[in-house]
Structure 1
């Protein structure tokens, strides 16, 4: 159905400070409360009501300017080349700090190229044992003779951590699965980060590199009639690998904001990226996802059944068993579950797997070399990539500059009959009439001055909240600019209403 433009019959809704009628009603109520016994005529023709209406209209202008976006209120005057933007900081500049918690350190370690995951574990059993010898007031490696073995006093150091590093095997492999990178540089970066961001009274006891425990699949797969055997086998390998060893996702800043994370939460415990040149980041890690990522200790074949059945083209699964290999040597085989080896990460052992594919009773042969190439190619594509600067920070909003101090005298808004506009009074007006018009001008100057001062105060809101006087401006001798930044209240003179020279005798009073 086509939607045609139309004019709504609903009355426009404005806040009170922008609603002329609301302001007029409030003003009339105040007048009635204050002077109801002396002033009883509040009709439109009354001069007092006219003055009230002109003032209400002026207040709506103040409300409009005051309601501009804060970036517009703080925008620099393009014509003022003496000033420069030095009051605002991006979130990467102002919210970043050194890692504090264990998760903070883990996130920083995982951001190192080649590091897939990192875990910190407090040392509870320190070796060798350290004994407290009260007789000598010293610490000893040998148990003092006066202390029985079951009643010996040990020193239990606190603040020591064992750091387990899970290196990304695909980082050092090419698309064919061949090693072509050394891990030495990665380990140097790990040690450098641990030393740089070590908290007081904390230290690293040991850095452990997790080994690879290759898990081989032995199963028969029934394929759907229209399934491509090679595609299905590659997808099975990718699905099983993702299940056994899921990857942490790196987000851009905007992606985490879209997830409902606040900038304060996102940048907690994160060092500055854009102002630490040696540090290039792959993005942001969701703290909740990192905390939920725990390495598996056991793999059940029932879980693998469910993962394989998720692959498109798999119709059924025959018998399934798994075998683990360490350094190319088989360890154990079990049809139901497999206990994983400590300090090892499970990875799919493609070259040890034996997956037979069937369509009905027909065995399907595939090019295993091509399957392995495609599998390693997909794994290599999952390697985290460095992010651009704009994906890691938020820019300072740029507002539009308005001349907020520009004041239009309320005397221009009065009807001609009052004789205070630019047209003034006719030459035939009596001296008394001219004196009355001039007296009204002087009376209205009070209101004009309040309005003008409000606007100039608003235009200097940037100076009121400025961090400091610009050092370059001070050295260059911009005395006026420096003096303005020392004020907390600003005023401006009135020279924009007809005949102001006759009303304001001291023209440089402000």
Structure 2
């Protein structure tokens, strides 16, 4: 029996927010009147003073109602100029890659033709990664020809890494692994269900062997029930990759493990005489080591006279249609390598809610809401002095309420990073601090030049201008946070490291940042010449051009160093150089030529310019130590 639905009813004593409770507002207003000007009214309900209190209390309930509107309504005004500042979750929550697993996901997601990739961090020097690439074969199961060239694939992997390169980190070596022809021979006894075919068992067995020998991560679509978990880490666009898919590169092969893979294949009843043959090793009696610079490419024997796996049913050999096996195998690989465009799924799962557009900044004048005897009920200008006086009295409240509604109507612009109403600098700075904190832009330390030491108002206006500039560049700062420069980038912000962009916006002056790790030798000749005399550590040198009085001010220099230190990862060293414009221009010119050489892969020129940069910074460091 279905229970009857509970009828909807209005509560006898609804609990209202303080800003919408007319009786509470009226009582508070009368209490204030009794305390401040007890003789202003006789407090009878027909008294004009009480009528005005009731009018103002009612008007305040409208303000309270507007302030508690849903957020989507507050941000859906017709004059929503800052809508681009409202980032959906799928754009705001993902972070740049940080861990090795993050970088593997990004490379697999951004580079077509990549079967798998492994990054091995070096201990000395720290900050370099050795990248090994497993190229996806277009026809799995058919061993490729010798001497394949994957130079373009390696180039695309390097470019994908450089676009997300952390500051003071880089690729040490990058190589495409060599495929080793691998044969697995075994006799399989099948037990097929009704309607099942031996070709399906053969294709599944070959697929599982190939994946076991050379793992390729599988992508999955976005699960609407766990969509938020997909944004933990870098943003993926072609399918999610689970942590369990990012396995280590196999170092050994055990024939017994291969036999177990075959036993777990659906339809296989028994496995006999599982043998392994590996190119360069031959027949393997036990576990065989795999060359670190190679991967095992299973030869399914599609092009041979006999398949390596012999199938039987009830002790009798089973005939196999090779064409059917190949078709099923290709379909299995196609399903495994399928990509799932995630951007439409992100937009659907994390869509910004659209609210009702309301005229939040519009307010009705209070005068026409009074009875006609007050002289303000008509839109005409009041004639009597009493009416003019009453209008002026009401204007005091109308102005305050209109200012409240104007600020409420500008909420959408404020969320977009624009303060659409005039405020004193201290209040502007508080709003900017709140918005910068929402976007994760550090702005706690704003260095104050010595010329503003005794000019408080000018210093406040300067801080507001700098924080507004940081807020205007919040998107670029978020994307480039803790990232190094990208020599081949087209956009100006990506050509600079995130810290260099942040420091230049913070100081309003020219900043040159050099990553010591990137000055390392690029050619054999320079590596042989230097040997181990120089250590290219995870540190940066920041050169800033300042006037002479600011260079001599230790307080100002300390504030600059503290502000830059906040934007730099804690494990990276910081070396500051405050120089005059001529020396800064010299450093900047050499640094631009060095980056240009890196962009065109002119390694000899890059090495020569890197040595010049290194020597220049060392001379500055020695000179500064002598002065101290």
TM-score by length of 1: 0.61
| Structure 2 counterpart of 1:342, from 267, 288, 291 | 291
1:354 matched to 2:309? The reply is yes
| Structure 1 counterpart of 2:152, from 152, 172, 185 | 185
| Structure 2 counterpart of 1:109, from 82, 107, 110 | 107
Q: Which moved more, 1:238-247 or 1:1-10?
A: 1-10
| Structure 1 counterpart of 2:358, from 386, 389, 402 | 402
CA distance in structure 1 between the partners assigned to 2:47 and 2:259 by the alignment: 89
Bigger Rg over Cα: 1
Q: Given that residues 178 and 295 in structure 2 are in contact (C-alpha distance below 8 angstroms), is that contact kept between their aligned partners in structure 1? A: yes
1:28 matched to 2:38? The reply is no
Q: Which moved more, 1:185-194 or 1:324-333?
A: 324-333
Counterpart secondary structure, 2:337: coil
Q: Given that residues 217 and 353 in structure 1 are in contact (C-alpha distance below 8 angstroms), is that contact kept between their aligned partners in structure 2? A: yes
Q: Which residue of 1 aligns with 2:175?
A: 207
Alignment length, in residue pairs? 407
Counterpart secondary structure, 1:408: coil
| Structure 1 counterpart of 2:326, from 355, 362, 372 | 372
Q: Which residue of 1 aligns with 2:404?
A: 454
Q: Which residue of 2 aligns with 1:488?
A: 423
Distance 1:232 1:175, change over 3 A: closer
Q: Given that residues 97 and 233 in structure 2 are in contact (C-alpha distance below 8 angstroms), is that contact kept between their aligned partners in structure 1? A: no
CA distance in structure 1 between the partners assigned to 2:47 and 2:223 by the alignment: 61
| Structure 1 counterpart of 2:394, from 419, 444, 448 | 444
Distance 1:68 1:289, change over 3 A: farther
Q: Which residue of 1 aligns with 2:248?
A: 294
After TM superposition, give the deviation of residue 183 of structure 1 in Å: 3.0
CA distance in structure 2 between the partners assigned to 1:5 and 1:402 by the alignment: 35
Q: Deviations over 1:160-194 (max 9, x none)?
A: 4322111112xx33898888996342133234445
Q: Deviations over 1:118-163 (max 9, x none)?
A: 1122346xxxxxxxxxxxxxxxxxxxxxxxxxxxxxxx64444322
CA distance in structure 1 between the partners assigned to 2:193 and 2:250 by the alignment: 35
After TM superposition, give the deviation of residue 94 of structure 1 in Å: 7.5
After TM superposition, give the deviation of residue 371 of structure 1 in Å: 0.9
1:232 matched to 2:201? The reply is yes
**Equivalent residues in 2 for 1:267-286 (5 A)?**
267=234, 283=238, 285-286=240-241
In structure 1, the gaps of 5 or more residues are 125-155, 271-280, 425-430, 469-483, 490-510
Q: Which residue of 2 aligns with 1:163?
A: 131
Q: Given that residues 416 and 423 in structure 1 are in contact (C-alpha distance below 8 angstroms), is that contact kept between their aligned partners in structure 2? A: no
Q: Deviations over 1:9-56 (max 9, x none)?
A: 353967615643xx5225415634763895999786666555444434
Q: Which residue of 2 aligns with 1:127?
A: none
Q: Given that residues 164 and 210 in structure 1 are in contact (C-alpha distance below 8 angstroms), is that contact kept between their aligned partners in structure 2? A: no
Q: Given that residues 218 and 354 in structure 1 are in contact (C-alpha distance below 8 angstroms), is that contact kept between their aligned partners in structure 2? A: yes
CA distance in structure 2 between the partners assigned to 1:392 and 1:182 by the alignment: 37
Q: Given that residues 24 and 53 in structure 1 are in contact (C-alpha distance below 8 angstroms), is that contact kept between their aligned partners in structure 2? A: no
Q: Which residue of 2 aligns with 1:60?
A: 61
After TM superposition, give the deviation of residue 375 of structure 1 in Å: 0.4
**Equivalent residues in 2 for 1:29-44 (5 A)?**
29=28, 31-32=30-31, 35=34
TM-score by length of 2: 0.51
After TM superposition, give the deviation of residue 237 of structure 1 in Å: 3.4
Q: Deviations over 1:332-381 (max 9, x none)?
A: 145xxx445233434554325314242x4555433133212320232134
Q: Given that residues 115 and 216 in structure 2 are in contact (C-alpha distance below 8 angstroms), is that contact kept between their aligned partners in structure 1? A: yes
Distance 1:58 1:241, change over 3 A: farther
Query: Which structure: greater helix fraction?
Result: 2
Q: Which residue of 2 aligns with 1:173?
A: 139
Q: Which residue of 1 aligns with 2:377?
A: 421
Distance 1:224 1:84, change over 3 A: closer
Counterpart secondary structure, 1:186: helix
Q: Deviations over 1:221-264 (max 9, x none)?
A: 33144141233333343345445544324466x6599443375x
Q: Which residue of 2 aligns with 1:495?
A: none
Q: Which moved more, 1:37-46 or 1:206-215?
A: 37-46
In structure 2, the gaps of 5 or more residues are 302-306, 425-628
Higher relative contact order (CA 8 A, sep 6+): 1
Counterpart secondary structure, 1:163: strand
1:248 matched to 2:214? The reply is no
- Cα RMSD (Å): 4.9
CA distance in structure 2 between the partners assigned to 1:214 and 1:42 by the alignment: 99
1:261 matched to 2:259? The reply is no
Counterpart secondary structure, 1:106: helix
Q: Deviations over 1:450-490 (max 9, x none)?
A: 2222112222345556657xxxxxxxxxxxxxxx957338x
Counterpart secondary structure, 2:175: strand
After TM superposition, give the deviation of residue 391 of structure 1 in Å: 5.6
Q: Which residue of 2 aligns with 1:121?
A: 120
Counterpart secondary structure, 2:328: helix
Counterpart secondary structure, 2:229: coil
After TM superposition, give the deviation of residue 286 of structure 1 in Å: 4.6
CA distance in structure 2 between the partners assigned to 1:62 and 1:331 by the alignment: 85
